[in-house]
Amino acid sequence: MFGKILIANRGEIALRVQRACRELGIPTVAVHSTADSDAMHVRLSDESVCIGPPAARDSYLNMVAILSAAHVTGADAIHPGYGFLSENAAFAEMVEDHGLTFIGPSPEHIRMMGDKITARTAMAGLGVPLVPGSAGALADLDSAREVAASVGYPVLIKATAGGGGRGMKVAQSEAELEEAWRVARTEARAAFGNDEVYLEKYLDRPRHIELQVMADSFGNVVHFGERDCSLQRRHQKLLEEAGSPALSAAERDAIGATATAALAKLGYRNAGTLEFLYQDGQFAFIEMNTRLQVEHPVTEMVCHIDLVREQIRIAAGQPLGYTQADVRFAGHAIECRVNAEDPETFMPTPGRVQAFHAPGGLGVRVDSALYAGYVVPPYYDSLVAKLIVHAPTRPEAIARLRRALDEFAVLGIKTTLPLHQRIVEQPEFIAGDYTIHWLEKFVEREIAAAAK
């Protein structure tokens, strides 16, 4: 097992990883920017190292500074969390080249899945169903026209290097294709420094259903079931559930078997998530994330497993120690992402937290690095807390979520808590009857009603 782990992240996820390390008896090193000297992840770690100024590119994305911090503190492994360097193959390689362990998949698999075209090609070759679309990158607008005509409109132009819902544009008809092509490429160039794009059929009413997998270094692969992340705004998830209200146990088993067989063939290691669109009983792969996900707690609650602990054990060369038949699903879990954002305009709301009261009680979990007096800095992602509830059934989980949301108080800054309070009252949500487009339309309706 590792002697000391450096956590190359901040906020709630840095705390989340620290907690798993502490339970394993492994000391931790926090890294932080000058803007985060007072952050909870720094206060609660065994050691900390300042790695640069506020801008992420100079601190949390500064590979040399992070590796130096690992060397001076004597850490022998690095956990990247999510975001920042978690899907950076060059960083994973650098960590390994310096004789440390990167707690995650191999650089080769990070690279393969980081490019959505090589990911699609690899998955198709392994028998995983894809969303119909172009076989590879689109050379020019004419080839985009050809593929669009063959798969049928509407279509989606997507950046090969895409992430965070950026570099993605819909064309409803051929008349809109040129504009979508231009805008997606411009956005992709600005966001990722790479304007390569491909095309997929745009599904009109899918759910986003993803599968959590875990693989050790001995060829054992298991899945921990699905998460339904269909409640999104601008392709960004806001509320996630495990399991999906739309999926039967037999459907879960079937897609789980396909996915684990594919990853076993690939020789994949550590945690991963296969993301699918699900419509009319069919799964279609869209991408794979080679890291821990923001929404991993809902899986932990229904499977009674600590996914970060598993990641660390596997990276240390230990076998899974269980098979698919040992994985049990119990009850229902829901997570709300609490962002420091205005719940109507979604503008970020950095600033001082005057008071912070987290809900508690049976089946309630809050993953957050907030505290009263903390100043949310304007430089980073706006996620400041995750509220997770677990109960025997979905209706009970919803009742628990409502009461936990009512208890939750974050004063001084606006958050998305009031939006969640509205969502949990909606008949479509209560019925579990929603697609990836539902939340966007709901928000539009709410804003229109407020303007009247």
425-444: contacts with ligand ADP (CB under 6 A): 436
**C-alpha–C-alpha distance, residues 45 and 6, integer Å:** 10
Looking up tokens 């869209």, which residue turns up?
A: 286
66-125: contacts with ligand ADP (CB under 6 A): none
Q: Give 326's contacts (C-beta < 8 A, 6+ positions apart).
A: none
- Provide, rounded to whole angstroms, the least separation between the CB of residue 278 and ligand ADP: 11
- Provide, rounded to whole angstroms, the least separation between the CB of residue 205 and ligand ADP: 9
First vs last Cα of the chain: how many Å apart? 61
How many residues touch ligand ADP under the rule CB under 6 A: the total is 19
> Which whole-number Å values give the CA distances from 398 to 224, 359, 375, 393, 403, in the listed order?
22, 15, 31, 9, 9
**C-alpha–C-alpha distance, residues 243 and 249, integer Å:** 9
Stretch that binds ligand ADP, among 159-167, 350-358, 397-405, 423-431 (CB under 6 A): 159-167
**C-alpha–C-alpha distance, residues 16 and 79, integer Å:** 11
CA triplet 209, 211, 216: central angle to 5 degrees?
170
Stretch that binds ligand ADP, among 163-171, 191-199, 259-267, 389-397 (CB under 6 A): 163-171
Q: Dig out the tokens for 191 from the structure.
A: 């966001």
Residue 348: DSSP 8-state? B
Specify the residue, 75 or 157, whose C-beta has the smaller distance to ligand ADP: 157
Specify the residue, 208 or 252, whose C-beta has the smaller distance to ligand ADP: 208
> Which whole-number Å values give the CA distances from 117 to 114, 162, 277, 420, in the listed order?
9, 11, 17, 35
Looking up tokens 């009857």, which residue turns up?
A: 433
Looking at 120, 166, 185, 291, which residue is catalytic?
A: 291
Stretch that binds ligand ADP, among 7-15, 106-114, 197-205, 444-452 (CB under 6 A): 197-205
Q: Is 177 in the site for ligand ADP (CB under 6 A)?
A: no
Q: Is 131 in the site for ligand ADP (CB under 6 A)?
A: yes
- Provide, rounded to whole angstroms, the least separation between the CB of residue 210 and ligand ADP: 9
291 catalytically annotated: yes
**Beta-sheet pairing, 77-79 with 236-242:** unpaired
- Provide, rounded to whole angstroms, the least separation between the CB of residue 167 and ligand ADP: 7
- Provide, rounded to whole angstroms, the least separation between the CB of residue 295 and ligand ADP: 12
Q: Is 367 in the site for ligand ADP (CB under 6 A)?
A: no
238-297: contacts with ligand ADP (CB under 6 A): 275, 277, 286-287
Q: Is 379 helix (H, G, I), strand (E, B) or coil?
A: coil
Dihedral pair phi/psi, residue 49, rounded to 5°: -135, 130
**C-alpha–C-alpha distance, residues 403 and 51, integer Å:** 41
Specify the residue, 52 or 114, whose C-beta has the smaller distance to ligand ADP: 114
Looking at 162, 243, 272, 297, which residue binds ligand ADP (CB under 6 A)?
Answer: 162
Q: Is 129 in the site for ligand ADP (CB under 6 A)?
A: no
Binding site for ligand ADP (CB under 6 A): 131, 156, 162-165, 200-203, 206, 208, 232, 235, 275, 277, 286-287, 436
Annotated catalytic residues are 291
